[in-house]
Structure 1
Amino acid sequence: MHRDILKLNEIAAKPSRMVLGLMSGTSLDGLDIALCEISGHGTQTSCELLNFLTLEYEQDYRDKVKEVFAKQHASIEHLCLMNAWIARQHAKMVNEALDQFTVDRVDVDFIASHGQTIYHSPRVQHGLEEFPNATLQIGDGDHIAHLTGIITLSDFRQKHIAAGGQGAPLVMYGDYLLFKSDTENRILLNLGGIANLSLLPKDSRASILSSDLGPGNTMMDAYVQQYFAPATFDSDAQIASKGKVSEPLLAALLDNVFFNLGMPKTTGPELFNLQYLDSAISSAKLQLGNSELTHEDVMATLCEFTAVCVANSICSLAEDLRTVSVYSSGGGVHNPLLMQRIETLVKSGLPAVKFSSTADLSVPPDAKEAVLFALLANETISGEAIDFPASSTSMPNISMGKVSFPR
């Protein structure tokens, strides 16, 4: 038997495993690296975050990814080259992080690498009945495994699609294992490039749900990068706070069939991008008349757009529950205007909803997604298909991730 298969068997039998979770999101800000000690599996999982850091991408990385990111037409050659190049960049970052953590590579049992999403295309978006839901993450696991010397699991989303899902969001799997409570109804809200949530009712018989909601930071970040470079995001909402929300533009932004779809649903920057904004501005011009929108006004409106999308979704899910606690994570938690607007909009209709961050659940908001991919890998190696409540038909009971050996 191959020695790496023997080693994998030994790792699976260990009482606990050292797992390095990697997450690179659509914001392209950096690689999140979470070193976790995980014991058990399924609903008996226990996870301790030992170390976490984000290694910021250089502008060269962002520029290369943007040549193919969320674009219907791009160079096949460049895409082919990027698959290996991104993996090698991530492997270099892993080795750097382990040096900073003062952790020997032989002590890490395996890496869980999300890769870099290049294109996300559910059937409701591409509209081609002969094709299934589709998504593409690049950054090949073989390169990471070989260059780090650590068994690597990658390409998690394909199994979800193969089993009838849309490839996103996958956060529910980890949310369910770590955060399900018998004493309170919980919503785990993630504000990355795209906003998504997991609904975890305290009633174990009730259906759980995970869904994208619409744009998180992606349109705001893209607008800042276009008009306020070299800034890459609106730090502390300093730009948006100087503007005024344009109601005609907000109405045009909200005028999309995506928002009429029932949950669960999924989307990405392929839909919510600066072209979408330009189209909405054109639609709003009849009502705007001679009024000129400043860049600050546009940013204020984009912030409100995200807040309304998120608040509407929370309210629709929470209205039948007497009390709900919302735990937020992702880059959006650092946008004070966005967080304040979400809470205000929700509490105007549902004052019993409580807001905090996943820090109150012992997981830092910036680390959560990297931790969740570590959990997915742990299930693949030492667990079984996650057994969701029978009513939760949108969540395939599957394990995910392809295994790459160092040798």
Structure 2
Amino acid sequence: MNKYITKLSEISSKPERLIVGLMSGTSLDGLDIALCKCKSGFVDVKEFRSVEYSKELIKRLSEIQSRVATNTKELTLLHTELANYYGEAVIKALIEWGVPMEEVDLIASHGQTIYHAPAQTEKEINATLQIVDGDHIAQKTGIITISDFRQKHTSVGGEGAPLAGIFDEAVFRDETKHRLLINLGGIANLTWLPSKNSGNKVMSGDTGPANTLINEAMIKYFDRTFDERGKVAASGKVHSELVRYILLEPYFRKPFPKTTGQEDFRLNYIEELMEGHGIECSEKDLIASLTSLTAQSISRAVDQITNDEAFECYVSGGGVHNESMMKELEERIPQGEFKDFEELGIPADAKEAAMMSFFANDLVSGDGFSIPGVTEEKVHFGKISLPD
């Protein structure tokens, strides 16, 4: 028998597991690495770091991500190159944390989303693609690696997202308190967690762009990869007519649950819309407007699903550091009591990497999860790659 099959069996029978969770989102800002202690329904983040992508890597990824036509050679190369990059980043992080490699049970890698294609008609199928090969990570590190989590979701009829709703309900739902969890990555998603005592259903979905449009505009007009602390947005003025036209897009009128990706929200489309409607605004005003778009689209979604009930609100993801975005969110969601995500036991920046650890832990030792509105059957997420 393959020695790693025996080891996997031993890992699955342990009371808890030490797992490295890896996450890189559509905002292309870098790789999040979270070292987590995991057991059923519980994740404890022991260490965390983010590794920024270089400008060259961001450029290469942006040229193949969310595009109908792309360079298949570059796509193939990055599938392997990024895996080696991830593996080296994990090794370096563990050395700096003083954690012996042999103490880590699993690596859980989300990968880099290249295209997200939820069905638009009944004749279409749901599909999504994440690159970064798990075999290469496992071979580079010598650690059993779980990857490609979203394919099981689509294989049973889901859209491949959001996975966050499953994680949020299992880990953060409270008996008596209503909670709203917002994640501000490239795309914004939220999970409505009514108290268990209320008997109401959990609701989760994508609201639209969070940082993806802002980052794309910052790269093009300011040669910076993101708007640090929302300073550029704060220096500009929101062009309300531009935001109004963007919010007329069909996606914003779809009912929950729903998912989207950068495919639906690219800067060139915004610029075409501006040209078509004769809208002119400065580069700073564009950043301010795109920031406001994120806040307005999220608040609209919140109004649809929370019925004006008071709730605790926790925000995670890179956008939590955008002070302009956070200020407008708090103004537009007055029924929410905004709290530090870390009060839930996980740092805001580490949430999605921790989520990958959570799903990897369930794959090897859990009972699986049903997917609301898709299947009541229990499913597990992820594929297993052995080092040899």
TM-score (norm 2): 0.96
- Aligned-pair distance for 1:275? 1.9
Contact 1:209 1:394 in 2 (8 A): no
Contact 1:189 1:328 in 2 (8 A): yes
Residue 373 of structure 2 is matched in structure 1 by 393
Q: Distance in 2 between matches of 1:151 and 1:340?
A: 42
2:300 is paired with a residue whose SS is: helix
Deviation above 6 Å: which 4+ runs of structure 1? Answer: none
Once the two structures are superposed, what CA deviation does each residue of 1:187-245 show, in whole Å capped at 9, x if it has no partner?
1110101000111111353211210000001101100000000x111112111111111
- Aligned-pair distance for 1:319? 1.5
Matched, 1:53 2:32: no
Q: Distance in 2 between matches of 1:121 and 1:26?
A: 14
- Aligned-pair distance for 1:336? 0.9
Choose which of 346, 350, 355 in structure 2 pairs with 1:363: 346
Choose which of 316, 319, 330 in structure 2 pairs with 1:332: 319
Choose which of 73, 81, 86 in structure 1 pairs with 2:82: 86
Matched, 1:199 2:192: yes
CA RMSD of aligned residues (A): 1.5
Residue 22 of structure 2 is matched in structure 1 by 22
Kindly report which structure 2 residues correspond to 1:175-324, keeping only aligned pairs within 5 A, or say none: 175-203=168-196, 205-229=199-223, 231-285=224-278, 288=279, 292-319=280-307, 322-324=309-311
1:31 is paired with a residue whose SS is: strand
Q: Distance in 2 between matches of 1:66 and 1:302?
A: 19
Residue 60 of structure 2 is matched in structure 1 by 64
Contact 1:252 1:283 in 2 (8 A): no
Residue 345 of structure 1 is matched in structure 2 by 332
- Aligned-pair distance for 1:162? 0.7
Residue 140 of structure 2 is matched in structure 1 by 147
Residue 3 of structure 2 is matched in structure 1 by 3
Residue 385 of structure 2 is matched in structure 1 by 404
Q: Distance in 2 between matches of 1:346 and 1:49?
A: 29
1:232 is paired with a residue whose SS is: coil
Q: Distance in 2 between matches of 1:337 and 1:17?
A: 39
Question: Aligned pairs, how many?
Answer: 386
In structure 2, list runs of 5 or more residues that go unmatched.
Answer: none
2:384 is paired with a residue whose SS is: strand
Q: Cα 1:387–1:293, aligned 2, differ >3 Å: closer, same or farther?
A: closer
Contact 2:156 2:375 in 1 (8 A): no
TM-score (norm 1): 0.92
Q: What is the identity percentage for the equivalent residue pairs of Structure 1 and Structure 2?
A: 40
Q: Distance in 2 between matches of 1:191 and 1:46?
A: 22
Once the two structures are superposed, what CA deviation does each residue of 1:140-181 show, in whole Å capped at 9, x if it has no partner?
100000000000000000000111110111111221221011
Q: Distance in 2 between matches of 1:354 and 1:280?
A: 36
Contact 1:173 1:376 in 2 (8 A): no
Amino acid at match of 1:338: M
Residue 13 of structure 1 is matched in structure 2 by 13
